[in-house]
Structure 1
Amino acid sequence: MKRYLGLLIVAVCLVSCIKDAPLNPEADIEVFTVPQGQLTGQTNIDQANRKIQVFLTKEAFEKGISPNLVISKNAKVKPASGDSIHFNKGAVEYTVTSERGDDIKKYTVEVINVGDWNFEFENWAQNANDKYEFPVESNGTAIWSSGNPGVALSGVPPLVSSYPTRSTTDGYQGTKAAEMVTIKGTTLSAIVGIYLYAGSLFLGDFNSENVLAEPLAATEFGEPYIGLPDKFVGDYKYTPGASFQDENQKIIPGRVDECSIYAVLFEGNERLNGKNINTSDRVVAVARLSDGTAKANFTKFDIPFVYKAGWNASGKNLMMAIVASSSKEGDHYRGALGSRLVVDNLSVIPK
């Protein structure tokens, strides 16, 4: 009898433990899978901002996709994993509800790029607080950044014209292009030894958290890329400023400023930055404009990617960075005030 009573008590305890097990409070989309044939770049889940960024072929964008999802244990998601989603009416949103029911997260699917990597810089948005401009895709997604957020911290007036990078109607074709101008630093920036800001534009993000401690690390370059690029093409014109100065404001007689335009293919899922974009051993191919001198009229460039000898692309995740600057040495705060670079119709042509 004692034995049976003991077993009964153990069974009750086990049932009680099972009943008392806490429900899972998490409500995350952990994996978002789209067939490789429908992608032009690696899918990225931005958990901090609850965004799912996808690079789609034109056909996949027009016909829709049916992603497979992995979500938090016992959570529920709507639309369900495997359901077809379409982008003809704008952004798509997933709602995830935790098993416990009190945590609900909404994820927005952003189509970053459709088809080939062609950028015409026709669409621009404006930062709400600091008023600087930045280019966006036709659906409003921002994949380009610049040094403007850093310049905003130096105390410039909240006007588009106060910043070194902005839109211009002086383009090669269409209504707009990207304009970069090397400008004078501010009283505040001079305190830390920064006397000029070069206009810059790059695929990636500007991390304001790093700008004071490591300014070069604040520029984070790259977006996911699938396949192998063959050529980097585009149109540009450039006017160097009158007097080249070094990082200490010393004028260098006879020195003429030059612009910089290049594309870099590199391995991994993490972005490179201004400290290592030109030195990292993760870089596997580069297409760099060799002539950064003055061009009064729009000039077309067509640059082949030069690959690292013996490199094997098999099974590797890749990222692509495109970088342009009105002063080639602007990352070291050297250049000529007033140097002006305009770029339009940038494209990465696949093999």
Structure 2
Amino acid sequence: MRLNKLFILYSLLGILITSCIQDEAPNAEADITGISFETDILANSYIDLNPSYDEVLNAYPIQINVKEGTDVTNLSPMFELTPGATINPASGSNQDFTTSVFYTVTSADKKWQRTYSISVREQKASNIPTVFHFENVRLIKGISSTNDPEKELYYHEFYEKQNEEELTWASGNKGFNWAASNSKTADYPTVQYENGKVGKCVKLETRLTGSLGNMVGMPIAAGNLFIGSFNMQNAITSPLSATRFGTPFYNKPIRLTGYYKYKAGDRFYENGEYTSRKDIYNIYAIFYDGVAYDNDGKAIDVTLDGNLPNENYQHESMVALALVSNPHETNDWEFFDIPFDYQRYGKKIDETKLANGEYKIGIIFASSKDGATFEGAPRSTLLIDEVELIYE
């Protein structure tokens, strides 16, 4: 039954993409599917090859993090492409990545092209922003947008700047855009909201995904916001692994604080029907060892994902967990202060690995605690504002 659903889903997706193709619209025949280098220069082995289209750049931006000290003026990235596709500049050619380099991929039948803006950044020993006000959003154009300004459809992407550092938050908005592509900005699960604790805030709301989501047993989408990345390639076949948590962090986190409001939806959806179960939100942060080593001593990047809560937050790489206790509804802004529990895993921090950025931090908010397994109450709403990650 699941295979039949997936067949229908992929068929509909193909029709949808074909009907929405514009000059730079997504096309499966003109994709970069892999990037590698001859030497070990990557600071993080994961590269998001499915970015949202950037209207300012007129391209799909890909960011590559390399180790500190890498000479970015003379790099020769090698590209894997969809069968028969070509790329210009050529794969393996030397390029100066002091500024972004634009690559154009042309499909095998020469009918489609896709332009990528590839930037390379040294992963220096400095932290991400640790105070979050949720005042900054980018408007990301959805797949149902047109050249008619009155019919352009966008969703929000949150980012935070602190000193010279910038952090872009991830969410499931990209997946919801595929399932409910005609939605207005305010109808997405993760949006900016005017009435925050101070200024604006983020609103996370569990939403119905419509007929397309129902068809494959994904009837709801919880509002979520997290430090990490969303892998659209896994969103259909392995949704729990689509949410990839964490980014390098160079200090020991102590507490996570902030303000929230929460109202549960009226009817809880699970196992194909509505029940009397009460929905509840989730707020947690994870600190874990982001590098493992194989038998030959080769470093392997570790990234934890949405499976973690279902495994009671147990993983061999986990070092500390900050998990909200006694989650409940509140009509007024309520302060939370969650300590990181290091005793839970009984591990000591390796100061050398910490200085090298081998540990990762992830902060996760969700309007439905079990939304990742498509259980929750539509209209459950979590507001979050003035968050701070406290560290030593």
Out of 203, 207, 213, the position equivalent to 2:231 is 207
2:133 is equivalent to residue 124 of structure 1:
no
Matched position secondary structure for 2:160: coil
Out of 202, 212, 215, the position equivalent to 1:188 is 212
Give the count of matched residue pairs. Answer: 278
1:327–1:335 contact (8 Å) kept in structure 2: yes
Deviation of residue 335 (structure 1)? 1.2
Structure 2 distance, partners of 1:346, 1:302, is 10
1:33-52 to 2 correspondences below 5 Å = 49-52=62-65
Could you say which residue in structure 2 is the equivalent of 1:313? Answer: 349
Out of 363, 366, 378, the position equivalent to 1:337 is 378
Moved more, 313-322 or 203-212: 313-322
2:185 is equivalent to residue 160 of structure 1:
yes
Could you say which residue in structure 1 is the equivalent of 2:265? Answer: 241
**Partner deviation per Cα, 1:111-168 (whole Å, 9 max, x = no partner):** 9976761111110011123411010123795531111111111133152123111100
Could you say which residue in structure 2 is the equivalent of 1:275? Answer: 307
Could you say which residue in structure 2 is the equivalent of 1:39? Answer: none
Matched position secondary structure for 1:187: helix
Could you say which residue in structure 2 is the equivalent of 1:10? Answer: none
2:127–2:249 contact (8 Å) kept in structure 1: no
Unaligned stretches of 5+ in structure 2? 1-35, 50-61, 77-88, 98-118, 144-153, 291-300
2:142–2:177 contact (8 Å) kept in structure 1: no
Structure 2 distance, partners of 1:205, 1:341, is 21
Matched position secondary structure for 1:194: coil
Could you say which residue in structure 2 is the equivalent of 1:265? Answer: 287
Unaligned stretches of 5+ in structure 1? 1-25, 33-42, 55-66, 78-96
Structure 1 distance, partners of 2:201, 2:195, is 7
Structure 1 distance, partners of 2:365, 2:384, is 8
Deviation of residue 288 (structure 1)? 0.7
Could you say which residue in structure 2 is the equivalent of 1:326? Answer: 367
Deviation of residue 309 (structure 1)? 4.6
What letter corresponds to residue 266 of structure 1 in structure 2?
Answer: Y
What letter corresponds to residue 240 of structure 2 in structure 1?
Answer: L
Structure 1 distance, partners of 2:134, 2:289, is 27
Matched position secondary structure for 1:216: helix
2:390 is equivalent to residue 349 of structure 1:
yes
Structure 1 distance, partners of 2:368, 2:331, is 16
1:223–1:321 contact (8 Å) kept in structure 2: yes
Could you say which residue in structure 1 is the equivalent of 2:70? Answer: 69
TM-score (norm 1): 0.70
Could you say which residue in structure 1 is the equivalent of 2:157? Answer: 134
Structure 2 distance, partners of 1:148, 1:116, is 22
Out of 282, 289, 293, the position equivalent to 2:328 is 293
Deviation of residue 110 (structure 1)? 8.0
**Partner deviation per Cα, 1:265-284 (whole Å, 9 max, x = no partner):** 11124321112352322111
Structure 2 distance, partners of 1:288, 1:205, is 20
Moved more, 130-139 or 112-121: 112-121
1:205–1:220 contact (8 Å) kept in structure 2: yes
Could you say which residue in structure 2 is the equivalent of 1:217? Answer: 241
**Partner deviation per Cα, 1:284-342 (whole Å, 9 max, x = no partner):** 11111112210111101111110135312113321011111111111111111111000
1:29–1:69 contact (8 Å) kept in structure 2: no
Structure 1 distance, partners of 2:71, 2:345, is 39
**Partner deviation per Cα, 1:218-251 (whole Å, 9 max, x = no partner):** 1111111112111111111101111222141x22
What letter corresponds to residue 306 of structure 2 in structure 1?
Answer: G
Deviation of residue 69 (structure 1)? 2.9
Provide the identity percentage.
27
TM-score (norm 2): 0.63
1:180–1:341 contact (8 Å) kept in structure 2: yes
Structure 2 distance, partners of 1:46, 1:301, is 32
Structure 2 distance, partners of 1:117, 1:305, is 15
Change (3 A) 1:168 1:140: farther
2:288–2:318 contact (8 Å) kept in structure 1: yes
